[in-house]
Amino acid sequence: MVPPDGSGFPSSTTATAAGVTVHVPARRRAGSLRALRRSQLAFLLWIFAPIIALFIIIRVIPIFVILLFSFTNYSITRPVWRWTGLANFERLWGDANFLSALWNSTEYVLVAVPAEVVLGLFFAVLLSRRVRFESFYETLYFLPYIIPMVPAAIIWKWIYAPGSFGLANFYLEALGFGRVGWLTEPKIALLAVIGMHVWKNLGFFVIVFLVGLKNIPADVKEAAAIDGASEWQTIRRVELPLLKPIILFGAVMATIWAWSAFTEVYIMTQGTDVSTGTEIAVLVFRIYQEAFRFYNMGYASAISFVLFVLSLLFVLFQFQLFRGWKEEGA
Amino acid sequence: MVRGRRAALLHAVLLITSLAMVFPLVWVFLTSFKTSQDIIRATPTLLPETWTLENYGKLTQTAPFVRFFLNSLLISGVSTVFIIITCSAAGFVFAKYRFRGKNLLLLLIISTILIPLQTYMIPLYLFTRWLGWINTYQGQIFPLIIMSSGIFFLRQNILSIPDELLDAARIDGASEFGVYGRIILPLTVSPLAAISIVNWVYTWSMFIWPLVVANTEDMFTMELGLMYFQRQFITEYGGIMAATVVTILPVLLVFLMFRTRIIDGVAYTGMKT
């Protein structure tokens, strides 16, 4: 059989990778295939490669540089720097400022993460009961999350203000309690700031968990109901276990945000009795001070590295925790 | 639908807690219209005794908030344009191309989603300094032009575009740039809109990076301007309230305009980088 174009080659075959059959003369097809390959390579070279290069410069190299810097005494005020081995890390152990920041950050994580996950689940479960005005409530919960941290922190600095115009103290007094030095007593100040952090982020967890709950197929819940499970049993035995991957995602995000908290601490300690920041300073606050106030880039890099490793460990720990939950067969 | 007494209880819990969540915002909004004597009264009232605009009137005289606003607009705007291009192009390649090392590269991108800027800002700062970009717009923008979660999000979306569609265009003689511009971009308008809004809000709210990179008032974003303003005029209660409201307002308006898109976008990309 001679093809209609008389070229002596079969005229209809599969072109490119996708299985589209077209009638093109074999020689032209070969040519256009070559043109196609060339334009694909050009796209990779001129568009994709620069994007990846930017990604590597902005996101990947800095992380390795942090590790390198943490073994030096680098400072932008000093022209010469040298390798100092583990000196920065040894110094960390004796640095009271660092140790208190480490403890404060740990407290931040230990309080904020469970609070955000539990409260987020609580409101998401309530909202998932197919309530009326759901989107109205959803919007209100979400609102604090969407506004920037700086104005939010300033508002809460005012709520916590020591004088009578501080709303928190005003309501405490109205209820018959004494005034509290919200931002002036170190022990309370950190918890007050964490409370603000939870208020700010809660909406994110409500939304994420709610989306997850809504994605659970209705027949699964119906099957549980037919088997005579009460609503609470359905939530506990069916919905929450199915939501597990989303809860893990939420817990991971909460952990990262708690470790990297900075803005609210920075804003809320300004101009108060703890304004030196040592009492309630968190790790990022120390990094900021060491690197951009005292210009000890090497030492600050060591703190950054500790922060990086700690967040990684906590995230891995959560993955482990959730795997355990699965094997338990809940 | 939940009904009866249980529904009433449910609504009571939801209403009280959700109103408590927004109460601080409502309070600051109302307070910004109070006179300065009214603000520091021993028994604060929710509503102003006399409504006044004087707090807002004084704002532009004490600090260049219009400049701050334009700076924020420029930085988050340029960043968002970059994000649209980088996420869609990289997402296209990751979804539709096959080459060695691709999956490894994608894995690398995904793993950086979880690493916050705070941990690696020192090398980034030194790099910015080396480029001579301290206290410039470029310096404030360039760490914000790649969004790891956005690349992954777009890749997931582009996977569902049938290969046949792309090949039909290729056979018609379209180059890859044509395929990208005439098929991929129009078909990803909706996910791109979602990440654009999320990125816009994220960059608008950014604080620590402008704090280390911007030194002079003419480079300040709204967040930075507000921070210095409240530090400098620590007793200007009314002024700080008005400035806070002005800083919140743009984000609030965008949120109310694109509410569902933002909520979906945040739920799926996780926001932040």
- Structural domains counted in chain B: 1
The answer to whether position B57 is within a domain reads no
CB A286 within 8 A of CB A103: no
The answer to whether position B25 is within a domain reads no
Least confident of A185-189, A322-326, B104-108: A322-326
Average pLDDT over every residue of A180-193: 86
What is the length of chain B?
A: 273
Query: What CATH number is attached to the domain comprising B216?
Result: 1.10.3720.10
The answer to whether position B49 is within a domain reads no
DSSP code, position B271:
S
pLDDT on residue A21: 40
Say if the Cβ atoms of A148 and B248 lie within 8 Å: yes
How close, in Å, is residue B1 to chain A by CA atoms? 5
* Domain span at B249: 62-269
CA angle at B139 for the pair B141 and B262, rounded to the nearest 5°: 20
DSSP secondary structure string for all residues of B168-207:
HHHHTT--HHHHIIIIIHHHTHHHHHHHHHHHHHHHHH--
Say if the Cβ atoms of B120 and A52 lie within 8 Å: no
The answer to whether position B16 is within a domain reads no
Max intra-chain CA distance, chain A: 101
Query: ipTM of the assembly?
Result: 0.91
Average pLDDT over every residue of A52-72: 94
pLDDT on residue B180: 94
pLDDT on residue B209: 95
Cα separation, B142 vs B132, whole angstroms: 13
Residue A329, pLDDT above cutoff 50: no
CA angle at B136 for the pair B91 and B270, rounded to the nearest 5°: 35
Cα separation, B13 vs A65, whole angstroms: 50
* CATH code reported for the domain at A87-327: 1.10.3720.10
Say if the Cβ atoms of B164 and A141 lie within 8 Å: no
- Mean predicted lDDT score pLDDT of chain A: 83
Q: Quick: pLDDT tens for B66-87.
A: 999 999 999 999 999 999 999 9
pLDDT on residue A261: 94
Average pLDDT over every residue of B147-160: 92
pLDDT on residue A226: 85
**Closest among A74, A105, A116 to A308, alpha carbons compared:** A105
For A:32-51, CB contacts with B below 8 A are: 32, 35-36, 39-40, 42-44, 47-48, 51
B266 touches chain A (CB under 8 A): yes
Residue A28, pLDDT above cutoff 50: no
pLDDT on residue B248: 93
Least confident of A119-123, A227-231, B78-82, B203-207: A227-231
Average pLDDT over every residue of A45-53: 95
Over pLDDT 70: what percentage of chain A?
Answer: 85
Residue B144, pLDDT above cutoff 90: yes
Query: What confidence category does residue A107 fall into, taking pLDDT thresholds of 50, 70 and 90?
Result: very high
B181: nearest CA in chain A?
Answer: A43
pLDDT on residue B25: 94
The answer to whether position B36 is within a domain reads no
Burial of B240 (0-12, 13-18, 19+ CB in 10 A): buried
Residue B183, pLDDT above cutoff 80: yes
Query: What confidence category does residue B226 fall into, taking pLDDT thresholds of 50, 70 and 90?
Result: very high
B11: nearest CA in chain A?
Answer: A131
CB A84 within 8 A of CB A296: no
pLDDT on residue B3: 65
Residue A5, pLDDT above cutoff 60: no
The answer to whether position B46 is within a domain reads no
Q: Quick: pLDDT tens for A264-317.
A: 999 988 755 444 556 788 999 999 999 998 899 999 999 999 999 998 898 888
Non-local CB neighbours of B244 within 8 Å, separated by 6+ positions = A151, A154, A155, B28, B32, B226, B230
Radius of gyration of the CA atoms of chain B, in A: 23
Report how far Cα B40 is from the mean position of its chain's Cα atoms: 33
B257 touches chain A (CB under 8 A): no
**Residues in chain B closer than 8 A to A143 (CB atoms):** 21-22, 25, 252, 255
Say if the Cβ atoms of A147 and B1 lie within 8 Å: no
Average pLDDT over every residue of A3-26: 40
For A:67-96, CB contacts with B below 8 A are: 69, 76
Q: Quick: pLDDT tens for B2-32.
A: 567 888 888 999 999 999 999 999 999 998 8
The answer to whether position B97 is within a domain reads yes
How close, in Å, is residue A327 to chain B by CA atoms? 26
Tokens of B159: 């996977």
What is the domain partition of chain A in residue ranges?
A: 21-69, 87-327
Least confident of A101-110, A194-203, B19-28, B264-273: B264-273
The answer to whether position B86 is within a domain reads yes
Residue B181, pLDDT above cutoff 80: yes
Say if the Cβ atoms of B24 and A267 lie within 8 Å: no
pLDDT on residue B269: 66
Query: How much is the pTM?
Result: 0.88
A249 touches chain B (CB under 8 A): yes
Q: 3-state class of B164 per DSSP? A: helix
Average pLDDT over every residue of A46-69: 94
- Mean predicted lDDT score pLDDT of chain B: 89
**Closest among A322, A303, A326 to A101, alpha carbons compared:** A303
Closest CB to A36: pick one of B122, B170, B223.
Answer: B170
Residue B148, pLDDT above cutoff 80: yes
For B:223-242, CB contacts with A below 8 A are: 223-224, 226-227, 230-231, 234, 237, 240-241
Average pLDDT over every residue of B242-252: 92
Average pLDDT over every residue of A17-40: 58
